Amino acid sequence: MERETLKRILECHQDWLHGKNTGKRANLSRVVLSGVDLSGADLRGADLIGVELSEANLSGAQLGPAKWEGCSEEDEELEPICRARSSVAPI
C-alpha cells in the first residue's frame, strides 16, 4: 500500500473515531503492512482481518478493540491478540 493512501485512510479513521461525518472506519483487511511504521497510530475499531504486520513498528499504537481474525502466522508477537479475535459493533 502506498504511504499516501495509508495516511489518508488513517486520517479518515481518526475522523470516524471522533464521530465526524467525513470519517470512515479503516478497512485494512488483507493488506500487507510489513515493515510499515504505525507507531502511535490509533487503530481502535479498524478492520484488521488478515493484515500482514511482520516487522511493522507498532510501538504506542492503539489496536483494540479491532477485528483481528485470520492474523498471519508469522506475527507471533500478536498471537494473543489474534486468538482473542476482538470485534467491534457495526457502524
Query: How does pLDDT run across 34-91, given as a tens digit for each residue?
Result: 999 999 999 999 998 888 999 999 999 998 776 655 554 444 454 444 433 333 333 3
pLDDT for 64: 77
pLDDT for 67: 62
What's the predicted TM-score (pTM) here?
A: 0.70
pLDDT for 24: 95
Note whether 65 and 45 are within 8 A (CB): yes
Domain spans of the chain, in order of start: 26-91
pLDDT for 63: 83
CA distance 32 to 82: 16
